């Protein structure tokens, strides 16, 4: 039987929520685990673990990726945005405010992913239609809200200041 390869660590330099982070991680480490366990950014969640549900969504160079199925080493030299980087209690991002105001949050487990997916959409297209929002959210599942208020919250930001970086 072939020997199990010794994990070879990789050195990474990632800008996480605007701040540069230098790390050594095993090559096979997934971005989700590095964010949650090494950087204590717990907002991204593990749910389906196969890129369907979106609970692990983070932005890498502005594009949404499934952190559960993304090697941490791929983020080397890139910008990663997690929900913690979207805005904090003192200064909420318009999407975060809209989610709160529209009652688009119930259990909250899908929320980080929903927010970051929505941000990626609004960064690309300031005034998406409801159909475009629904298309964009194909990969973001919610079991609590039934989606109505989530879509309404994103619509409320569409065409407004929701596209602010």
Site for another protein, residues 129 to 158, rule: CB under 8 A = 133-151
Candidate residues 11, 13, 48, 129; the one interacting with another protein per rule CB under 8 A: 48
Least Cβ distance, residue 161 to another protein (angstroms): 16
> Residues in contact with another protein, total (CB under 8 A)?
84
State which residue, 145 or 163, has the beta carbon closest to another protein. Answer: 145
State which residue, 136 or 158, has the beta carbon closest to another protein. Answer: 136
- Annotate each residue in 58-87 with x if it binds another protein (CB under 8 A) or - if it does not, as one string: --x--xxxx--xxx-xx-------xxx-xx
Burial class (CB in 10 A: 0-12, 13-18, 19+), 15: middle
57: closest CA among 20, 82, 21, 37?
82
Helix-helix angle 94-101:111-124, to 10 degrees:
130
By CB under 8 A, is residue 45 in contact with another protein? yes
Least Cβ distance, residue 82 to another protein (angstroms): 7
State which residue, 9 or 159, has the beta carbon closest to another protein. Answer: 9
DSSP per residue, 85-137: HH-BTTB--HHHHHHHHTT--SS-TTHHHHHHHHHHHHHH-SS--HHHHHHHG
Q: Reading across the β-sheet that carries 79-81, which strands appear in turn?
A: 19-26, 9-16, 79-81, 57-60, 63-66
Least Cβ distance, residue 126 to another protein (angstroms): 17
């Amino acid at each position: 039987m072939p020997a199990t390869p010794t994990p070879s660590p990789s050195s990474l330099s990632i800008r996480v929520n605007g701040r540069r982070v230098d790390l050594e991680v095993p090559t096979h480490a997934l971005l989700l685990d590095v964010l949650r366990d090494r950087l204590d950014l717990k907002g991204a969640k593990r749910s389906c673990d196969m890129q369907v549900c979106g609970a692990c969504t983070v932005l890498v160079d502005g594009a949404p990726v499934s952190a559960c199925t993304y090697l941490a080493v791929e983020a080397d030299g890139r910008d990663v945005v997690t929900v913690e980087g979207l805005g904090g209690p003192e200064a909420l991002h318009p999407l975060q405010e809209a989610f709160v105001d529209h009652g688009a949050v119930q259990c909250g487990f899908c929320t980080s992913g929903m927010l970051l997916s929505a941000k990626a959409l609004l960064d690309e297209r300031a005034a998406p239609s409801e159909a475009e929002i629904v298309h964009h959210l194909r990969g973001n599942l919610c079991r609590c809200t039934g989606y109505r208020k989530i879509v309404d919250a994103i619509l409320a930001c569409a065409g407004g200041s929701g596209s602010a970086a």
